[in-house]
Structure 1
Amino acid sequence: MAPYARLSGRGCCLPLRNLVSVSLRNLTLTPTSPSRPRGKTIDDDALPNTRVSPAKLFALREQKSLVHSRSSSDLRSVSENAVAETDSELSLPANGSPLKAKGKPNGTPRTPQRPGLARDKRRRSTHEWASATPQRRQERLENVIQERLADVFFSVHVNGVGEPVYISETIERTMNPTFRHVDWSGCGAGVMRLDHFTIRFWVDRTNAGRWILLLELSISLRKLQYLGRGLDQLHHPLPQNAIIFHLTDGIYTIFPSISDYVPPVTAPSARANSARLLPTSSFDALLRLAKLDDSIQDALATRNKLAADLEDLLKANGEALSDRDRVPEAEDRLKTIDYAKKTVEKQLEKARKQQAEKRQALQKRRELMRTDHDRRKEQSVELQQARPELPKMGDERSVRAKAIRNQRRRICEDVQKIWPILPVPGKSLHFTIQDIRLPDADSLDDEPSDKIAAALGQVAHIVLMLAFYLSQPLPYPVNPRSSNSTIEDPLSLLKTNASTTQTYNDEKALRTYPLFSKGVPRFRFEYGVFLLNKDIQILLENTYAVRVLDIRQTLGNLKYLLYVATAGEGELPARKAGGIRGLLRGKVDDTPDLSRTGSDDSSASLLSGTFGHNGKMEGKPKGAVDSLRRTIGSLDGSLKRG
């Protein structure tokens, strides 16, 4: 059908199935009254045939087009010269009629101008938003927009059906909604062939579910007016609540919804210019189309019948189908139960094994308890038998403990005499050992390195001997070798660089620190001195429970250790006979040896017989000296192994 035929309302029937979509433009919740055109006053313009009256036509011809008033910045000030020239050229007679202007040959009067002033007064702007802030303008614009926005949906109704045949989706917060394509799949052929329907638009401004009816129009598709192929080709202003119908061949509307509608100009058709009439569809073609339509309707009816039969069949066999659906669920449940059963069996087997192991452990404990009980019985019997001798054994133990303490006092006294530690006159906390001054750990550079090494070697020797005699193992073993003495750190290992690792091949060499500073890294020497001071601190704290205040005072702490070790009541026991002569092989001394071989007393006698009170070696045979060295070496080896 041509657009002209659709526009005039003539043509064949348009069924409802040709409706594709619906749009609503310029949504307004408070429409104006139809009796009063928008933007016009109630005057003669509202009366019919007003524009065709002679007076109105004459007034329209004389009326000039209105333009916007200029702002105050566009008004130009009138200069005083222009005012003077106007006053001089224009004069008025007594009767008030204007005279002829000077310089005009035809005597045409000049248009009188506005009397000028020295300075033109600026017009004050009366716009209500002229002095408003940008925030206030934004709020007013948002309020205007919010008043026009709403949630919209529409419904389609036909005669004979109580419920709506179609309900569109809801478009939220809009003023020009365009809905999706209408889905007519749920409607039958009787509805699809209708050309009359009722459309209702529902709106909700508050977004609270309070829907109100905005428009209700009874539409006849025969009376729709053609607008164009699409909305992009529509340039005509639309009124409030204008409804646009999207059909298969273009967009349409109803005439009352567009005021002063002017149909679009279309090119004249070639068929209209031709005087010869072209034949339309033949009767056979129309008959075939009718038969095809009947076949389609029969197919649709058959499809609906098959769907109904399938639905009835599903309802009749619903129980069997549900039983069939429950079979996989039962199988899955059975698998879950089997898995849980196997898991419980594994846990039970593990619990049984643990129970058997605990029973065996309990049996062993019972046997051990029985054995211990029998042993305790035997010990109790022995204790009962030895009870009369316990006081005597206790007295003997106390006597031996006292003798051990006295012997240690005597040995420490001999050590103090062999290695005298004397204070430096005029200097507090400064001492010498064997007439060699050894400062504290922070002032090791005050003395020559060879003297420092010799003094530290003497201190290492004393610490080793005291650890042996006091039965106190050292955490950091020392190797006294005079001025080349070393000390080991088996507990920790200092982090070294690659060059140090290459210098010391094995870990033992890395854990050995020198007590001499010549030819070794400085930090290793200082760490060795620190370890030696820690040994002295451990001897004081673990043996005599004396707290060390400053471990850097090497000779001060060592002298204090010897002072505490030699303190006690009573006289010192006499040194037993023997000494170095008892170590000589192949010779028997006339003096009886009352000390045990390898005891502390014999070692003390050996040291006292070798060194005098002044710390110098007395004249003894060379074999005795070698024997002394071997004895000291064996003592050092036993201490290292211990």
Structure 2
Amino acid sequence: MVVGQQSKQYRAPSPQMAKRSYTYDALMRLNNIDNCLVDMQRSRDDVISNIGQILEREKSKLVLKREKSSRLLHLSRCQDEITDQSKALEEDRRRIITLRESIRSRRTALEEAKERYQTGNEYLEESQKILERDRKSLFLTTSKLCTCQKELVADLLNIFPIEPTHTETFSFKILGVPLPNSVFIGCDDDQVATALGFACHLINMLAYYLGVPLRFPMIPMSSKSTICDPITASLGDSRQGYNTEYVTCRVPFKKLLNWIILSIVQLEGLFTNNQLGALFPLYAKGTDRYRFEYAVFLLNKNIEQLMNSQGINVIDLRHTLPNLKYLILSLVSGQSSASHQRKLTSNNYTIPHNINNTIEEEEGENSHSHSKSSNTSNKNTKSHRKASQGFKVGVI
């Protein structure tokens, strides 16, 4: 019988063939192997029983070792966590210390700010009291100043009366000398120079009383008056400037005479430094015509400056005496002062009611005390006011 299909060399033995029996040595070998296997099984059983006994005996120790190792692992993890938490705690402590220092410094700053605030409040209260006192003083001084200015301007109106000539519209005369309105063709030069000298003197006194420094300084010398232009120096003559500084209109009243004398002396010959620019004559005789006309223009600009300082607008600059008379009438009647005071109070502060009453009372007392001395000036003022109603529309 064939066992494999691939090879025909191996064939199953025939059942009828006799099998070869084991030899004695082989049987003895098998017996020895069997005995060895039995011994090994016994040894195995002994080892197993011994291992079981040992395990039973060492079971509690093994459990403890196992538990010890697990607890050691947990302990190491806990120690690591403790280390991390200790570092975080140190950082938190440092941050707490920093925050405490910051809070302490802020508390100190708040206390200092509170002290400054209290000091500022006390200073503010004192300043408010001082301000209120200064306001009262300012209003009282302003009212007295306005009253004094009215009296002085009224005296000027008596000294330099400006009256209409009744020959032409807007034609006026000063101290009985007529002065045309910037058109001098066919007029007497000496008469015009005299009228301009009076107007120059009147403007100088008005600027002095009102405390307004004129842009174009003037030297009143009756019919030989001059006016200076600090800007247009190229149109002046060879005698330009003064060797001393120009004395403004803010000097005390007692020095007014010395100031006029000094101006006259300077005009006579002390022209060396070219400080004030060109001088222009307010007289036409013996001078260039354009220089005289420019001097009249500068004179009218000074009048415009005085009117603007009192809140009065000028429509026609050429009307010298009409503008000058309207300025004086406004000052005497108090319209310009009231409007100027209203402008001041509306821009800066409000006049309290009691201050207004005080001002009115003091004005009443002052007017009552000076009623006798200014009776003549008031009559002239009323007459000039009536006379000025006819040209008021053309001047305002």
Return the structure number with greater helix share: 2
TM-score, normalised to structure 1, is 0.29
TM-score, normalised to structure 2, is 0.45
Return the structure number with greater strand share: 1
